[in-house]
Amino acid sequence: MDCGIAVSLKNGVRTIQFNNTKRKNTLTVKTFLTISEILNEDASNDKIRGTIFTGTGEYFTSGNDLSAALKQVLKIEGTIADIQFAYKAFARALIQYPKLLVVIVNGPSIGIGVTMCGLCDLIYATENATFMTPFVKFGITIEGCSTDLLPKIMGHTKANEMLLLGRTITAHDALQANLVSKIIPQRDIANFVEDLHKEIEQLNMASFINNKKLMKEGTQKDLLDTFHRENDYLSEALNSENFANNMALFAKRKSKL
């Protein structure tokens, strides 16, 4: 059962590591569905305090596994509807998760790896982390409620460089734009994670959950509207000629490697 993740639990802290290392930690339909299941179960498991997402090896994640979409375009197998269903389950699980969500971006992060940051509570990055969202290039649309959340976090001019122009943002850019709260030097990661675990173990959970709920009610009351609207745009885009053409180009380039 290779879902592309390594999962562990220590003192109430769930760690989910993207580890499809042969494919730059890409996230498949199975990955999304498995993570959603874990998050939804953990949400009501009193032993769980929080979830840390990170990546194994060089990459955080190269994002949604578009090869499945490629196969559909080339009429081989799989459906685009599956991809969208799986991504939606993942995003919804993040939106609804009441406990602490931490992301440690350990390397290049692409697509959903970036947009999920708007839905998580604490984002840390190592110096070599980068953030890139190729939605416009591929002819698909921005997701993870980041059309609403990222401009609010980063300001529209910085969010747009990334989301609309497709520029790669460095860890330092991300820090300056308030997307990331701290940059962790490579050598300090182990200590950092240990300290983080200790902090999480000492959290007053009932109060944390109550306050996170309070904050989200105010700042994210239109979130589900945004989510639905984004999904409508995404359905259309995934079935568009523009996307199919870009996938064909992508397939061609890959086959030449």
Binding site residues, another protein, CB under 8 A = 135-142, 147-148, 151-152, 154-158, 160-161, 163-165, 167, 176-178, 222, 225-226, 229-230, 233, 237, 240, 242, 246
**Cβ neighbours of residue 195 closer than 8 Å, sequence gap 6 or more:** none
Q: Cβ of residue 131: shortest distance to another protein, in angstroms?
A: 14
Name the residue nearer to another protein (CB basis): 10 or 228: 228
Name the residue nearer to another protein (CB basis): 21 or 160: 160
Name the residue nearer to another protein (CB basis): 98 or 134: 134
Question: Among 87, 86, 134, 70, which residue's Cα sits nearest to residue 108?
Answer: 134
Q: Cβ of residue 160: shortest distance to another protein, in angstroms?
A: 5
Q: Cβ of residue 128: shortest distance to another protein, in angstroms?
A: 21
Q: Cβ of residue 138: shortest distance to another protein, in angstroms?
A: 7
Name the residue nearer to another protein (CB basis): 100 or 149: 149
Name the residue nearer to another protein (CB basis): 43 or 237: 237
Name the residue nearer to another protein (CB basis): 28 or 147: 147
CA–CA distance, 95 with 216 (Å, rounded to integer): 10
For 21, 65, 185, 197, the CA distances from 26, given in Å and listed in that order, are 8, 6, 24, 26
Question: Among 74, 121, 99, which residue's Cα sits nearest to residue 14?
Answer: 99
Q: Which residues of 130-148 are buried (b: 16+ CB within 10 A; e: fewer)?
A: bbbbbbeebbbbbbbbbbb
Q: Cβ of residue 229: shortest distance to another protein, in angstroms?
A: 6
Both tokens of 105, joined, read 């971006």
Name the residue nearer to another protein (CB basis): 42 or 230: 230
Q: Cβ of residue 230: shortest distance to another protein, in angstroms?
A: 7
CA–CA distance, 119 with 192 (Å, rounded to integer): 22
Q: Cβ of residue 181: shortest distance to another protein, in angstroms?
A: 15
Both tokens of 78, joined, read 């799989």
Tell the burial category of 234 from Cβ atoms under 10 Å away from its Cβ (0-12, 13-18, 19+).
buried
For residues 62 and 108, the answer to whether their CB atoms sit within 8 Å is yes
